Structure 1
Amino acid sequence: MTALDHGLGLGPVMVAAGCGGTGRELASYCGPGGLDGLDFVTRSITLDPRAGGPGPRIEEVPGGLVNAVGLPNPGLEHFLATELPWLVRAGVRVIVSIAGATMGEYADLARRLSRAPGVAGLEVNVGAPDDAGAGLFEVREPYHSASVISAVRREFPVDRPVLAKLRPDVSRIVEGARSCHEAGASAVVVGNAVPAAFRDGRSGGLSGPAVAPVALRCVAEVARVLPELPVIGCGGVHDLRSANAYLDAGATGVQVGTALLHDPTTVARLRVALAPHTSPNEETR
């Protein structure tokens, strides 16, 4: 069962937040149809512009990347004026990732985006790895996440999905997913980067295939305990086999992130491979 079957209006493959740039960078790698019909999660948008963290922001490690990009973005006003209209014209199904320093900021973002033409849904970033998300609302307990989701859900139309993006913490993932679902989340995205460090000791987040076994365990736990809650798997998806591992674990869909930095055609290939007419055993090339 896919996220589309669950009534979310989303297909089985999505671009993970921040990994498709503004969309323009990805367009030429998506085949003849371009971005049309693509489920695209934007970089995390904040009320005010953010320059991002100091460099170097990304470091390649065995099996993935350590990053501390600091959520650079142009702020809500610029996004609404330039990036969103371009994505809508390209035929993208736009899921806006939002991040804030307070619950009030999350609510304000949701309220203003609810009136913006072309916004298909929101992804609420409540799982930044430690201080890699410096300046964001501190989420230490599941009820913190639930409070943010509740504030967003009150301001956003009930007929459009609100996704809660959670860190893949095996010991707390079910509790966090349940709290967010009860607060109004339409689905949960598992997971975000896991806390890590650069070689020089700076804090960051680890993403890519290295985190896939942990994220898979989290997806399976949520799907087992909360079968009514759609779960979208994220972490190390780079081919049909890795995507099917999440679907077999109970995910309704997957997001592709780090793989796009290595092969920007990954989403296009997986969209074809996971289309309804495609054999589940067919491997992409």
Structure 2
Amino acid sequence: MKLTTEVGGLTLDNPTILAAGVLGTTGASLKRVARMGAGAVVTKSIGTEPKYGHPNPSMVRLECGYVNAMGLPNPSSKEFLQELNIAKESGVPVIASIFGGTEDEFKAVAEGLPGASAYELNVSCPHAKGYGMQVGTDPELVKKITRIVKNTVDAPVWVKLTPNVTDIRHLGIAAQDGGADAIVAINTLKAMAIDIDTGYPILGNVHGGLSGPAIKPVAVRCVYDLYEALDIPVIGVGGISNWADAVEFMMAGASAVEIGSAVYEDIGVFASVSMGISDYLDRKGMRLKELIGLSHRLVKK
């Protein structure tokens, strides 16, 4: 009960969530992550039609994290529905990450994946032509996409935002105006890597998205700004690899956190983060709700 949190229309036993795109391709892998302690899981981003993604190499590890350009590979909503139903046996909320290039495409994907605990709208992937941040940097379009999905499904709608804009608050307000139940911040930062022996870009797509520890300060700042600007909860994601990272995000205003890249190092990260948060609260004599947004209250004193 100590770590139970209410966020975006869902109740989680603990505030750790598997981020989209990591171990979310099959129902079995999502169930495995739930067994390892995640309070909820998010699927791979799913579209209306099968998509093979970008050519390899599609991911490279750097000293500061990872750069990937997967290109939103997925089997389509029709083929993935069975995996979603398997994942629902996990006992934790299962959030369907969906993407499209238009309002109607988002609507079609949501209709094709009934029964998810919530829907996370991917309007933020930085390396898929015609999708992700190419539609998610327009506040008016973000509002329209959010509204059409909200009117389509009988479940909470979360909107995952891109940091590759001048002021992320404008996108958060647009999503809130469209009826979003929560904001997820952030997706990856636009990036690339070059092989200095050959001079060629390493990724098959040339450009990709940076994840891992390097983006954490950017993500914390985005969560902090969104918390001040919005009336709906914010879910923090970006570079979280231990309990202290999670606490920092929650002090900035996150009601829960999503963990992605750290899973490559340790699938047990969800349990260790939850335990660390619990121990921290005991040492400080605090409740979880008191942790959320603490930095804002201190700054205003």
Asked if TM exceeds 0.5, the reply is: yes
Aligned to 1:189: 184
Read off the aligned partner of 1:4 and give its amino acid letter.
E
Give yes or no for contact 1:8–1:186 (8 Å, CA) kept in 2: no
Query: Does residue 91 of structure 2 align to residue 88 of structure 1?
Result: no
Tell me the SS of whatever aligns to 1:123.
strand
Q: TM-score by structure 1 length? A: 0.86
Relative to 1, partners in 2 of residues 1:20 and 1:13: Cα closer, same or farther, differing over 3 Å?
same
Aligned ranges for residues 151-170 of structure 1 at < 5 Å? 151-157=148-154, 160-169=155-164
1:248 to 242, 246, 251: 251
What SS does the aligned partner of 2:248 have? helix
Give, in whole Å, the separation in 2 of the partners of 1:52 and 1:246.
31
1:182–1:25: structure 2 CA closer, same or farther, 3 Å change rule?
same
Which has the larger helix fraction?
A: 2
Name the counterpart of 1:209.
213
Instruction: Label 1:170 to 1:212 Cα distance change in 2 as closer, same or farther (>3 A).
Output: farther
SS in 1 for 2:117: strand
Q: State yes or no: 1:43 paired with 2:44.
A: yes
Number of equivalent positions: 270
Instruction: Please tell me whether Structure 1 or Structure 2 has the larger radius of gyration of its CA atoms.
Output: 2
Check conservation: 2:36, 2:267, Cα contact below 8 A: no
User: Compared with structure 1, are the counterparts of its residues 135 and 216 closer, same or farther at alpha carbon in structure 2 (3 Å cutoff)?
Assistant: same
State the alpha-carbon separation in 2 of the partners of residues 80 and 58 from structure 1.
27
CA 101–225 in structure 1, closer or farther in 2 if over 3 Å, else same: closer
Q: How far is 1:90 from its partner?
A: 2.6
- CA spacing shift, 1:151–1:223, aligned 2, 3 Å: same
1:125 maps to a residue whose letter is N
Following superposition of structure 1 onto structure 2, how do residues 92-111 of structure 1 map, counting pairs within 5 Å? 92-111=92-111
In structure 2, C-alpha distance between the alignment counterparts of 1:193 and 1:256, rounded to whole Å: 13
Structure 1: distance between partners of 2:260 and 2:275: 17
Q: Which runs of 5+ in 2 are unaligned?
A: 195-199, 286-301
Q: Rate the CA distance shift 1:103–1:28 in 2: closer, same or farther, 3 A.
A: closer
Note the alpha carbon deviations across 1:238-257, whole angstroms, 9 max, x for none: 10000101001111110000
User: For 2:279 and 2:152, how far apart are their aligned partners in 1?
Assistant: 34
Quick one: structure 1 residues 277 and 213, their matched pair in 2 at CA, closer, same or farther if it must change by over 3 Å?
Answer: closer
- For structure 1, the 5+ residue unaligned runs are none
How far does residue 274 in structure 1 lie from its aligned partner after superposition?
3.8
Give the counterpart letter for 2:252 in structure 1. A
- Is the deviation greater in 20-29 or in 195-204? 20-29
Cα gap change, 1:19 to 1:154, in 2 (>3 Å): same
The percentage of aligned residue pairs carrying the same residue is 35
Deviations 1:48-73 (A, max 9, x none): 11112110111111211000011111
Q: Which residue of 1 aligns with 2:10?
A: 8
Alpha-carbon contact 2:8-2:157 (below 8 Å) kept: no
Asked if 2 retains the 8 angstrom alpha-carbon contact of 1:219 and 1:249, the reply is yes
Asked whether the equivalents of residues 18 and 40 of structure 2 are also in contact (C-alpha less than 8 Å), the reply is: yes
SS in 2 for 1:252: strand
- Shift of the 277–156 alpha-carbon distance from structure 1 to 2, 3 Å rule, reads farther
Alpha-carbon distance, 1:271 to partner:
3.3
Q: Which moved more, 1:2-11 or 1:199-208?
A: 2-11
Tell me how far 1:28 sits from its aligned partner. 5.2
Deviation at 1:13, TM superposition (A): 0.9
TM-score, normalised via structure 2 length: 0.82
Match of 2:124 among 119, 123, 127: 127
Q: CA RMSD in A?
A: 2.5
Superposition deviation, residue 182 in structure 1: 0.7
Q: Is the 8 A contact 1:122 1:163 kept in 2?
A: yes
Give distance in 1, aligned partners of 2:248 and 2:61: 24
1:108-134 Cα distance to aligned partner (Å, 9 max, x none): 122333xx34x10000001111xx122
- Could you tell me whether the CA contact under 8 Å between 1:219 and 1:246 is conserved in 2? yes
